Structure 1
């Protein structure tokens, strides 16, 4: 649920694409953006022609265009660069903003970095077929490029939700770089192979394009339906903003959902195989918010039984554990990394 004190006129303005209460000073979104920086990583494929609207063939706005030959990723960093690096990776659909309460907890002992995936938050959102198609294979390759740019030495990775299989694939190919891998509510059992209806609707024929352009459906409903969330309106506007200012976020959401629907099952099977393999030597912990309404906990402990992986429960957290129990998750991460 969203806790809101905004007036009807303010809500109408925002739903119509208006700006965020700027008369009262900087918004939460502006403040968050000011904390981060853009990192260039991962080259565009193919030609560099201007992206066009898939319906009418018209040249799209700057939000749907690639910013150059290499993509821009929005990253927020906390802690000294001399400390061990921890990369915080958000799930689908979410943003680096979800780790805002985790970053301060880690900052005294670690150099922690949270970033927006391509297609989310403040990172580039290229129109599909114009340099990036949002396939899971492309995301794996793009992740490698970003890590090479922000953490060329060893690091630990925390990843939440549906992007976990992508990260495990990367980690399997770069075990020498990893100190520890922490998976937060990952899709890890056979029951997790299908997206929940709240997300699957974005890939529906025709209606998917419509739903993915609806800011409330694409951000508010997608976040709050997955767990016991009581989100402040000022936080909800940060997640909502990309869908208000440009259609690029919606087109990306539609493309990602289609890719997940096509390849998620195979990626989960691959992840299970990797984590159960004798060749997997990376320290691995699974943290699970037990109030997850998208992914059932049934079978998670059974999978980890007999393996070297620890399981840590968060009884009051939902799917996006870092969103509603950020400080708690941050302290759990610190304890895991110290061990």
Structure 2
């Protein structure tokens, strides 16, 4: 415990001293939410959780299909050509949209942010940014109106970016470049969450007098779309990896915000239940199985009818007898290696015995 505390203290001091994020803060995505959530928002958080679970299940299946295709076809033999093709396609499909033009870290950070209280006009020229791309994204995300037409450009950009990021996450995870899974999954969930949060914000403005929005203060902002992005980031990461508490801890550490722990938990647990309904394994477990690594899943029940260890042991093993040198040629040893590989024992070895069958 003392060592862990010392390591955490030293790490925090180093972060504060060197300021690697350039923000003067200890966390990557600093948030300053100043509003509590309302109970009518819980339904939206559940919807985001359902999306996270469905996306996670779909991502696992499609990504494994892509990896099997990559391994079985010529694509796996030309990894550099594959990376160049993916890079070119990403450039062509992503440059025109400001939400896909910026990096994943900047995108997630912008989606988490809260809009200013005052009205922020949308900049003209959505297709091409005249200012800094990150500043343009932050201005695009903030719309203050009760007209759906004012929100449609933003909603369409978010929807396109969502489909774009989801497609490239499925294709790139597993290729010969370190693409990772955490930030791509978080960005997809944050985009969907911000999409839902923006629409809920429009509903609270357009139907301010309805009883369902009675908790909202008059002539003031009622919801924070950035919260929905935070919940979505956790939901999609949980859907893909089937982790829960670790995801919540990561989000709390990245944002330094504990106010919205309950909505994040609602989204994360909903995503976990939905994802496990379609698949009992996350993407990392599937990759271990696909690679053929020995792995004992804690959720799998192994049933044995044998009562002793001797009954479990195999008797038809490939062995090497030191008393018969004519049986230990290179060709025969290669044939033995091929046979044990076919039986799934390529990581094993050969027992060395004598002519009496005794282990040496």
Greater CA radius of gyration, 1 or 2? Answer: 2
TM-score, normalised with respect to structure 2:
0.24
Please identify which structure carries the higher strand content.
Answer: 1
TM-score, normalised with respect to structure 1:
0.25
Please identify which structure carries the higher helix content.
Answer: 2
